[in-house]
Amino acid sequence: MRLALDQARLAARDGDVPVGAVVLAADGTTVLATGHNEREAGGDPTAHAEVLAVRRAAEALGEWRLSGCTLVVTLEPCTMCAGAITQSRLDRVVYGARDDKAGAVGSLWDVVRDRRLNHRPEVVQGVLAEECSALLTEFFRER
């Protein structure tokens, strides 16, 4: 999560909402890819930290299935990112701060654990939640 927080700070530096993500290999320690929000930098509404990290991890592995991998992200993923998580077959999602306005991994919606879908990753929530939340609060306070 500390590496994801470093990524989030990069997003804030570039004027984007400070969300950072890391994809870990099946061994749980090897970093396959990182990402931070780049919507403002690239003018791309899909350039969320999670989507970018998942794309880069798939490229690093040479395949779209991220079976065995873990996504670590500072903010609870939205519906778009939850869909990408499910489609990429990630085994686990670890997130810091809840997103009561747009969260789709347990707070507002629970897309990744919807029994109608064929893949449901394990979810671990609240890791360094206060630190992740503080980064977002500070960013929006300055705005």
Task: List, as residue ranges, the binding site for Zn(2+).
Answer: 48, 78, 81
- For 92, counting Cβ atoms within 10 Å of its Cβ (0-12 exposed, 13-18 middle, 19+ buried), the class is middle
Question: Which residue numbers belong to the known binding site?
Answer: 48, 78, 81
Residue in the block written with tokens 């749980």: 28
The answer to whether 106 and 123 are in contact (CB under 8 A) is yes
The answer to whether 59 and 51 are in contact (CB under 8 A) is no
Residue in the block written with tokens 């507002």: 108
The answer to whether 48 and 37 are in contact (CB under 8 A) is yes
Q: Which of 38, 50, 59, 138 is catalytic?
A: 50
CA 124 to chain centre: 12
Helices (runs of H) and strands (runs of E) counted in the chain: 5, 5
The answer to whether residue 50 is catalytic is: yes
* Catalytic positions, written as ranges: 50
